[in-house]
A = this chain, B = another copy of it.
Amino acid sequence: MNLDRVLNAESVAIVGASRNPTKRGYQAIKTLLDEKFEGKIYPVNPKETSVLGLKCYPKVSDIPDPVDLALITTPARTIPSILEDCGKKGVKGAVIIAGGFRELGPEGKALEQEMLEKAKEYGIRLIGPNTSGMMNLKTNLNLVGIHDAPKGEIALVSQSGNMALSLITEAMVKSNKGFSYYVGVGNEADIKFHEYLEFFGNDPDTKAILMYVEGMSQGREFLQQAYKTTLEKPIILLKSGRSATGKKSAGSHTGSLAGMSEVAHTAFKRAGIIVVEDPDELFPIAETLSSLPPLRHNSVAILADGGGHATIAADILSDLGVQIPTLHHKTQAKLKEILPFTASVSNPVDVAGGADADPSIFAECARIILKDHEIGGLLIVGLFGGYGIRFAESLTLMEEDAAHQMGRIVKKRKKPIVVHSLYASRNTHPIELLRYYSIPVYDSLDVACKCIGALAERGSYLKEYHAKVNFVIHWREKAKRKGQKIIKQALNEGRRFLLEPEAKSLLGCHGAPVPKDVLVTSAKEAVEAAIEMGGAVALKIVSPDILHKSDAGGVRLNLQGEREIRAAFREIMESARQYRPDADIRGVLVSPMVEAGLEVIIGTKIDDQFGPIIMFGIGGVMVEVLKDVSFRVLPISSTSAKKMMTEIRSAPMLDGFRGLPPADKKALRKILVTCSDIMEAYPEIQEMDLNPVMAYPKGAMIVDARIILKEEARDMVPVETSRAAACQK
């Protein structure tokens, strides 16, 4: 694991060391000394002989002992030559603080490239540039200069130093948990998000990974790694740059390809990542997931003293899809035994003043509730932790007793308790005790509920995990000879798209349902084809020079009888020649008119950050007006295809509607999976658009298909693997 010597460096050179306290090169050394870094520190500056009592070296290569890591605090333009020197010394990694690279435009981008090449040459791994630094809190390797950052088991990976500072400050003030590492990813020029993920995934001292992301350059690799990591540890991620202004802001900040596409949210969740949108929830959810067991089943009890908070919590948890079932009658009976008659015992449980004389009744309730097999976890809301403040000081002792008991209950039952207390910020001793037992306490009811929601989400992800999700593309493996021939033909003709009959033929050769179209070159042939088909037909012009057939008057529908077909054929040819006199006309496609069914749309494309993705929606208003579509990163399994069809709001339409018959969802699933196969089989394809696909009670039919090839497709060398079997059809 080649990041080990970087993130666990035992010796560090500070390039740009300084005696001036306002300089980063002074502060860095001061911090390492103050924080008692366990390794060696080597100041580097040709103009100094010693800094803060440490011998200063002119160059890194002048240091007599081995150096794992260099912190480079000098300006952007100096970096390549410093890296050269570091390389010669055998330095394993460098933290580049300077900005002034990709985020400043083409010139900066070139400098970034130069720096990268130098690093590659010498095998130096880079953190940054444009980063606030990194910290290993286990060895006190603090290259950031944030003091008193609490130590703990959360690894923090952030594309903003400010956000890191926010989270560390929050942890300091509101929690007893802390961090194992912090990495400021910066421009992500060399080490990518997924590499950090892999490292922290393997780090035994890290229990959860907290990420703030503005944009990422290798989305698919990230998903692959996250998918592995989340099986072991939770990843909690906030992705900003959704809005236009947010994108602009992120771009000027890290030069990142910000504004992750609509597919990101679903893809992250499929990889088991807990996606957070409100920064207030980021640290608390990481804290909760790092220290409490996830919900084994999605059902929670709420325990309160009086109304208000319980009602609001019920609303918030319901919005999150967390179940709040009525407690088992035996559980209710046991609660009734210890609570006043005015108490509610169904769920939410309201002790109704039953804690006024002795708040340790909360622990008794918790014991009874968590013994109930149907209840996965407990949310306590309201005043607990502050009875001593609100009522009488003596109650504090009973709260302490309750806290000890609850600690034991959580351990015994392996079920989580999360506490909302309006006294959380007072850090009373009962609250400190709860936190000692890893029972998190928040003054925000919303945050406490979101933590329960995250425990539920993680629990059901792990439960439903079947190792079927797959973010690895096996290019060409499923390619067929016929398909390769079709694409080659198009490329040989200098085309970047397939003709309609080619597209359908490609789909058909992978088993997708396409109409039995016939390409004809004369009116006579058209009539013969129509007679063969029986019923009404459609005629469509086929020409590499006419992409938009309707605009060219090249489409005629619902034709019947010899006269009508002959006339239509003539008209189409005339219109096409008028539209583009020099058009290379290959003929006219005769298609049987398909029966009306439910129109669905299936599309695929290459996403900037994730590569091949697929889209599904119901045609017409649903897609065009309501943008009601679902996405998946490819490849997809049949299960995933099934699930993505349920994710659109208009999904009930697939089950039949207003007397219309239901759509054959199996047939649609098969088409989705076939599209996935095709995208994987032919890396030349940029985009497919199956619109419409008619879904029937039994079966489905691709009525029209458009396939666009990549600009660079001509330069791709199709590997004729043995697996590229001849089309069976």
Q: Which residues of A contact B (CB under 8 A)?
A: 99-100, 104, 158-163, 165-166, 169-170, 173, 212, 214, 238, 240-246, 248-250, 252-254, 258, 278-280, 302, 304-312, 314-315, 317-319, 324, 342, 344, 346-348, 350, 382-383, 390, 422-423, 425-426, 443-447, 620-622, 624-626, 649-650, 652-653, 657-658
Contact = CB atoms under 8 A, between A and B. Distances in A.
A241 B308 CA distance: 9
A658 to B, nearest CB: 6
B309 A162 contact: yes
A245 B166 CA distance: 35
A279 B242 CA distance: 25
B348 A245 contact: yes
A311 B250 contact: yes
Given A244-B318, A350-B253, A650-B621, A160 B278 contact: no
Contact of A658 (B245, B246, B443, B620): B620
Contact of A348 (B249, B305, B315, B318): B249
Contacts of A624: 657-658
A280 B445 contact: yes
6 contacts: A166-B422, A248-B346, A249-B310, A253-B307, A620-B658, A626-B650
A238 B315 CA distance: 12
Contacts of A279: 312, 444-446
Contacts of A342: 99-100, 104
Contacts of A318: 242-246
A382 to B, nearest CB: 6
Q: Which 10 residue pairs of A and B lie closest in terms of their CB atoms, listed nearest first?
A: A160-B308, A253-B307, A243-B318, A162-B308, A245-B314, A163-B308, A246-B314, A246-B315, A249-B311, A240-B311
A625 B657 contact: yes
A449 to B, nearest CB: 10
B311 A446 contact: no
Contacts of A280: 280, 444-447
Given A165-B390, A620-B658, A311 B253 contact: yes
B278 A446 contact: yes
Given A163-B309, A446-B279, A242 B650 contact: no
A573 to B, nearest CB: 26
Contact of A306 (B160, B348, B422, B658): B160
A619 to B, nearest CB: 10
A292 B604 CA distance: 50
B308 A253 contact: yes
A665 to B, nearest CB: 16
Contact of A253 (B159, B306, B445): B306
A215 to B, nearest CB: 10
A147 to B, nearest CB: 9
Contacts of A444: 279-280
A174 to B, nearest CB: 8
A278 B320 CA distance: 13
A307 B162 contact: yes
Contacts of A166: 308-309, 422, 445
A649 B312 CA distance: 28
Contacts of A246: 311-312, 314-315, 318
Contact of A212 (B159, B308, B350, B658): B308
Contacts of A104: 342
A652 B166 CA distance: 42
Nearest to A382: B162
